[in-house]
């Protein structure tokens, strides 16, 4: 599919889905973003839906400006996956015990490790840069200084909501049956705390007084507010990446204990809620991907569906009209509140048949029917990515 243009905007807003299928609130958000004087262009992914601060499934390219609420509170949220040498026949017969072992090794929901994970004692975890990374904590926003202990203990923890850990099996092709490990998480509480403080600062700046949406308040280049935000943003993005690296190493350890012969390929990892400096059309831009992955030519990425529908490993095609981006998942078609009112635990049990996972009221809002059809989403971005592997989960851990 090629893009269509959303009408009535100052900057081009290119849409990789039928614009008439986008909910009214999300369309209004996209028009407000496209009207900002700093915006060079917006690319709208097929998983687009209304979000807090800015539309989820959007790529916002700005000249010399950033909107902290568009990045959001889960700075650096993203995915990691690794292929193993195992096949589904090698997995333990008792997948419930495997899920319990994962939950014992990796805290979920609001939980954290009792003591910080020592990165030098985790098998397979890269050890470079940890001391330098933590030494920069003292440079962050002064209000978060007391949160260091919590941030240290949350490294290597999952969180809740749509974050997950999965054991997956590859579908079709020459590698059918191959086992993959996958997870989705971000910068935990410290990312949220940093984001909220900077969002509040941006809203008070005089140049943001007349914006159509106060959540689109921006920092501009050359100001101390922008410098402070980018310092904290880059640290939180690194925190998120290190959090996933620790979790993946712990997850690999659980599988190694269950199946000692396991071996692991190089991991695939990608942010889908972050800012990057990129150049398009000879112009240096600050690109905010709010629920989107980078899909430069050859880039490997991960596009998950829901806890019952599987995921895709993809390779980017480098489409510059989309600022070399692709969707970060299927995208919600229904709010969490509506999903809880619409579906029951029995519905969840039916829709997750064959998956070892929670099947209770606490995760009904994550029911597969609350998400868009992943295969349809993939077809709409066939000019953005190509499929490398189609995975289906057999174990799913959620907070």
The residue annotated as part of the active site, out of 49, 272, 328, 390, is 328
User: Count H helices, E strands: the chain?
Assistant: 10, 17
Indicate the length of the chain as a whole number.
399
Instruction: Kindly state the tokens that stand for 271.
Output: 């942010």
| Distance between CA atoms of residues 311 and 387, nearest Å | 10
Phi first, then psi: what are they for 304, rounded to 5°?
Answer: -85, 160
Beta bridge partners of 184: 79, 164
* Tokens standing for residue 80: 């990691």
Other beta carbons less than 10 A from residue 284's beta carbon: 10
**184 is known as an active-site residue:** no
Is residue 107 a contact partner of residue 101, using CB atoms and an 8 Å limit? no
Residue 72 has phi, psi (to 5 degrees) of 95, -175
Task: Select from 195, 251, 247 the least CA-distant residue to 54.
Answer: 195
167 C-beta neighbours (distance < 10 Å), count: 28
- Token code pair at residue 7: 């009408």
- Rounded to whole angstroms, how far apart are CA atoms 396 and 164? 7
Inter-axis angle of helices 224-258 and 95-105, nearest 10: 140
Q: What are phi and psi of 48, to 5 degrees?
A: -60, 140
Name which of 313, 315, 320, 278 is nearest 298 in CA terms: 315
- Residue 130 CA: distances (Å) to CA of 43, 144, 164, 187, 286: 35, 19, 25, 16, 27
CA separation (Å) from 17 to 6, 47, 59?
A: 11, 8, 14
Cβ proximity of 59 and 292 under 8 Å? yes
DSSP line for 136-182:
GGGGS-GGGGGGHHHHHHHTT---STT-EEEEEEEESSTTTTEEEEE
Nearest C-alpha neighbor of 287 from the set 36, 64, 16, 11? 64
Q: Give the residue numbers annotated as catalytic, written as ranges.
A: 328
């Amino acid at each position: 599919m090629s893009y269509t243009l959303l009408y009535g905007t100052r900057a081009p807003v290119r849409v990789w889905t039928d614009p008439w299928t986008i909910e009214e609130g999300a369309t209004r958000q996209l028009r407000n973003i496209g009207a900002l004087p700093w915006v060079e262009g917006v690319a709208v992914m097929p998983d687009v839906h209304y979000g807090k601060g800015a539309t989820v499934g959007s790529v916002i390219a700005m000249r010399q400006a950033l909107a902290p609420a568009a990045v959001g509170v889960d700075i650096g949220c993203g995915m990691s996956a690794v292929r193993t040498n195992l096949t589904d026949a090698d997995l333990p017969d008792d997948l419930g015990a495997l899920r319990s072992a994962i939950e014992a090794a990796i805290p979920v929901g609001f939980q954290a490790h009792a003591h910080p994970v020592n990165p030098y004692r985790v098998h397979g975890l890269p050890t470079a840069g940890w001391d330098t990374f933590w030494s920069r904590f003292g440079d962050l926003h002064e209000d978060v200084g007391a949160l260091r202990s919590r941030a240290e203990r949350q490294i290597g923890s999952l969180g809740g909501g749509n974050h997950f850990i999965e054991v997956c099996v590859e579908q079709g092709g020459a590698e059918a049956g191959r086992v993959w490990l996958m997870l989705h998480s971000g910068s935990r509480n410290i990312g949220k705390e940093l984001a909220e403080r900077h969002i509040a600062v941006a809203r008070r700046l005089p140049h943001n007084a007349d914006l159509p949406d106060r959540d689109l308040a921006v920092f501009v280049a050359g100001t101390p507010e922008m410098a402070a935000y980018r310092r904290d943003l880059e640290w939180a993005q690194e925190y998120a990446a290190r959090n996933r690296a620790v979790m993946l190493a712990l997850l690999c350890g659980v599988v190694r204990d269950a199946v000692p012969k396991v071996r692991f390929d190089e991991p695939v990892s990608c942010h889908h809620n972050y800012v990057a400096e990129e150049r398009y059309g000879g112009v240096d831009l600050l690109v905010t991907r709010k629920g989107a992955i980078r899909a430069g030519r050859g880039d490997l990425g991960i596009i998950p569906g829901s806890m019952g529908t599987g995921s895709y490993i993809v390779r980017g095609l480098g489409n510059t009209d989309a600022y070399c981006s692709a969707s970060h998942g299927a995208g919600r078609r229904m709010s969490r509140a509506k999903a809880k009112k619409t579906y029951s635990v029995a519905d969840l049990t039916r829709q997750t048949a064959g998956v070892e996972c929670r099947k209770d009221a606490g995760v009904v809002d994550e029911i597969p029917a609350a998400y868009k059809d992943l295969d349809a989403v993939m077809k709409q971005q066939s000019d953005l990515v190509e499929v490398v592997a189609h995975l289906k989960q057999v174990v799913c851990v959620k907070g």
